[in-house]
Amino acid sequence: MPLDALPPVEAAARKFWGIAGFRPLQAEAIAASLAGRDTLVVMPTGGGKSLCYQLPAVVTERGVTVVVSPLIALMTDQVRSLRERGISAACLHSGQHPRDQIAIEQELIHGTYSNNKLIYVSPERLLSPSFLAVLTRCRIASFVIDEAHCISQWGHDFRPAYAALGTLRKPFPAPIQHSAFSIQHSLPIHAYTASATPLVRDEIVKVLGLRDPVVLVGDFDRPNLHLSVDRIPHRDSQLIEFVAPRVQLGDHGIVYCITRAETERVADMLNGRCGLNADAYHAGMSDGDRASVQRDFMAGHWDIIVATIAFGMGIDKPDIRWIVHLGMPSSLEVYHQEIGRAGRDGNPAECVILYHPDDYDQWEQLLWSEEEAVAAGCGSDDPKLEKLNHMDLYCRTKTCCRHAFLMTYFGQDHAFDNCAACDVCAGKAEG
pLDDT, average across residues 359-382: 62
DSSP bridge pairs for 307: 256, 281
C-alpha dist (Å) from residue 405 to 27, 120, 143, 221, 386: 29, 36, 34, 10, 16
Percent above pLDDT 70 for the chain: 88
Higher per-residue pLDDT: 183 or 371: 371
Give the pLDDT score at 182.
Answer: 28
Nearest to 150 by CA among 393, 407, 383: 383
Say whether 278 sits in a helix, a strand or coil.
Answer: strand
Check residue 186 and report its DSSP letter: P
Check residue 118 and report its DSSP letter: E
Identify the CATH assignment for 3-217 out of 3.40.50.300, 3.20.20.70, 3.40.50.150, 3.90.79.10: 3.40.50.300
Residue 173 confidence (pLDDT) above 80: no
CATH number of 225-409: 3.40.50.300
Higher per-residue pLDDT: 165 or 72: 165
Residue type, 329: P
Whether the Cβ atoms of residue 92 and residue 116 lie closer than 8 Å to each other = no
Whether the CA torsion 364, 367, 371, 372 is positive or negative: it is negative
Residue 263 confidence (pLDDT) above 90: yes
Nearest to 194 by CA among 335, 295, 72: 335
- Per-residue burial over 202-212, b = 16 or more CB atoms within 10 Å of its CB, e = otherwise: ebbbebbebee
Residue 393 confidence (pLDDT) above 90: yes
Residue 401 confidence (pLDDT) above 90: yes
Question: What mean pLDDT, rounded, does the chain reach?
Answer: 86
- State how far the Cα of 116 lies from the Cα of 126, in Å rounded to an integer: 16
| Residue 430 binned pLDDT confidence (cut-offs 50, 70, 90) | low
| Residue 3 binned pLDDT confidence (cut-offs 50, 70, 90) | low
| Residue 365 binned pLDDT confidence (cut-offs 50, 70, 90) | confident
Say whether 250 sits in a helix, a strand or coil.
Answer: coil
Task: Say if 3-217 and 225-409 have the same CATH topology.
Answer: yes
Residue 341: other Cβ atoms inside 10 A: 24
- State how far the Cα of 237 lies from the Cα of 248, in Å rounded to an integer: 17
Give the pLDDT score at 96.
Answer: 87
| Residue 370 binned pLDDT confidence (cut-offs 50, 70, 90) | very low
- Per-residue burial over 418-427, b = 16 or more CB atoms within 10 Å of its CB, e = otherwise: ebebbbbbee
Give the pLDDT score at 156.
Answer: 67
pLDDT, average across residues 364-376: 58
- State how far the Cα of 283 lies from the Cα of 259, in Å rounded to an integer: 10
pLDDT digits (tens, 9 = 90+) for 208-255: 999 999 999 999 899 999 999 998 778 899 999 999 999 989 999 999
Entry pTM: 0.84
pLDDT digits (tens, 9 = 90+) for 26-71: 999 999 999 999 999 999 877 789 999 999 999 988 889 999 998 8
Check residue 16 and report its DSSP letter: I
Residue 111 confidence (pLDDT) above 70: no
Whether the Cβ atoms of residue 53 and residue 33 lie closer than 8 Å to each other = yes
Residue 320 confidence (pLDDT) above 90: yes
- The domains of the chain are located at 3-217, 225-409
Residue 137 confidence (pLDDT) above 80: yes
Percent above pLDDT 90 for the chain: 54
